[in-house]
Structure 1
């Protein structure tokens, strides 16, 4: 068993998406999925520039809640970020989606179709029963107005966390996980489990025509490893595409202000110790230092942005 002295991730606090226009994204997320507004702040100064690795950044951050989970819409007001490549596919290593849990897939899908989405899946797909880990799960993948990848997901009674089966009144229940495309499962497990202390929650291989229609990727076969932090809650899914193989890597010049940027906020119990451990293991840092926030408006006491082995952004924080 883990003890409190272990350096590890406690929980995922939020998922941050860099957006082109906060007002447009705010309208979309509140109307399409009934997210609720938590806060709307604009931040600038050396601390945030150092944290995100973007000099002179002025960032509007709109925090939204769905169920127990938070997302942050981050608009760089004074910098024009690069758009997400229009030919992106699910096996490109910058692929990362939010899985929004619904209580009724058909109703949610019908509701969503009146919004400006770009479908990835043909229509909602049901994972076949012979897939032990995820048989009966229904899913539909699509893009938001910026091209960020999203998924609607519904769980049969014997799958998913208990909380997804306790509230049948709401159509949109919360966020189960963020899924990221990776190049090598063992390499990612070393980072997320050995270094960050997350735990393996599930393993499966999804393939056949269902996965092809879900991902719009001919012959798709993907090894999926689900991870959860110690305190449970939102998780991370590692998507390792066996077929058609790995897509394109995340370009090394992409920055936090580019629209493809998504950062997973991980609450840790000892940031200094963890940073030493990550530096010793050759992890790439975006932040120039551990940023200390004295400002009472900040939800963090400390923060440091790093990259996982494939370049996905991980914001390590200590909460205020």
Structure 2
């Protein structure tokens, strides 16, 4: 096991979403979900273009905080990306959502419904108690104005991280994980666990009518593997749909400026070593090189964007 701990992911710094319009997304996330503004910068030049694999990129990046967690709304100011397919389903392999923890599902759902959202779930669903890993968890899935998938999640006292059970007067508490649709659990575990050094937190199978209503996917049965980095915090959930089976693969021509693009920012302890290891293992690179940032206002010093086995964006960084 020691070879796995030499270089590894320490934590998730933030989750980036490509958006059509920063103003519109900022309004939605701050008002409907009560995120707070951290920073608003615009970047351009060769380094940022190389990082994202986009020629001549000019990107406005708005960083928002909810509890301890960060997201980045990223608008390409000079390139119009493709929209997310309107018929997207949870088992399509580009599916990725953020799970936002709430202290009171009924109040959070009522607050959210006063904004224009596109629901995926019929109403908030309660996972049956016989499901050992997630019994009695309540969840509701919906889409933001760009079609990005989001989930409200409420944990009963015996589930979820301790931090979600501290007394808080806040309604929206933070981000527990990002869930991604995958084609093969073992293939994804090779990438996230064996190469990146993340650890399995739990495994479960969710099915029956509850999952179908949650996903708006008839007969849904999904194998879920939850991973967390060594320092804890935000995790990644691998969603391997057994029924109705795998959805459509991510088109190979999708770029960082296309609206379906999300990138999980993983803080690593040694980027050069990790990049060398990933190259030896045939991982797909978006960045042609490790990009060094000397700009002190930028949140990290080094970055390199790669794709996981199903094409999800993974940004490896050194803070």
TM-score (norm 1): 0.98
Residue 285 of structure 2 corresponds to residue 278 of structure 1: no
CA distance in 2, matches of 1:299, 1:83: 28
> Using a 3 Å threshold, how does the CA distance of structure 1 residues 116 and 128 change in structure 2: closer, same or farther?
same
Q: In the alignment, what sits opposite 1:158?
A: 158
CA distance in 2, matches of 1:56, 1:26: 24
Deviation by residue 1:55-107 (Cα, 9 ceiling, x = unmatched): 00000000000000000000000000000000000000000000000000000
Q: In the alignment, what sits opposite 1:309?
A: 309
CA distance in 1, matches of 2:116, 2:174: 21
Runs (4 or more) in structure 1 with deviation over 2 Å come to 1-5
Contact kept, 8 Å, 1:167 with 1:173, in 2: the verdict is no
Contact kept, 8 Å, 2:82 with 2:258, in 1: the verdict is yes
Q: In the alignment, what sits opposite 2:231?
A: 231
Contact kept, 8 Å, 2:14 with 2:72, in 1: the verdict is yes
Residue 37 of structure 2 corresponds to residue 37 of structure 1: yes
Q: CA deviation at 1:297?
A: 1.3
CA distance in 2, matches of 1:106, 1:81: 36
Residue 122 of structure 2 corresponds to residue 104 of structure 1: no
Q: CA deviation at 1:194?
A: 0.3
Q: CA deviation at 1:168?
A: 3.0
Q: In the alignment, what sits opposite 1:180?
A: 180
Q: CA deviation at 1:167?
A: 3.1
Give the superposed CA RMSD: 1.1
Q: CA deviation at 1:140?
A: 0.2
Q: CA deviation at 1:278?
A: 0.1
Q: In the alignment, what sits opposite 1:300?
A: 300
Residue 136 of structure 2 corresponds to residue 136 of structure 1: yes
Gaps of 5+ in 2: none
CA distance in 2, matches of 1:191, 1:276: 14
Q: CA deviation at 1:10?
A: 0.1
CA distance in 2, matches of 1:276, 1:18: 28
Q: In the alignment, what sits opposite 1:199?
A: 199
Aligned length: 319
CA distance in 1, matches of 2:158, 2:2: 28
Q: CA deviation at 1:2?
A: 6.3
Q: In the alignment, what sits opposite 1:7?
A: 7
Q: In the alignment, what sits opposite 1:93?
A: 93
Deviation by residue 1:245-277 (Cα, 9 ceiling, x = unmatched): 000000000000000000000000000000000
CA distance in 1, matches of 2:207, 2:197: 29
Contact kept, 8 Å, 2:4 with 2:196, in 1: the verdict is no
CA distance in 1, matches of 2:6, 2:287: 23
SS in 2 for 1:300: coil
CA distance in 2, matches of 1:179, 1:5: 24
TM-score (norm 2): 0.99
Contact kept, 8 Å, 2:121 with 2:214, in 1: the verdict is yes
Gaps of 5+ in 1: none
SS in 1 for 2:6: coil
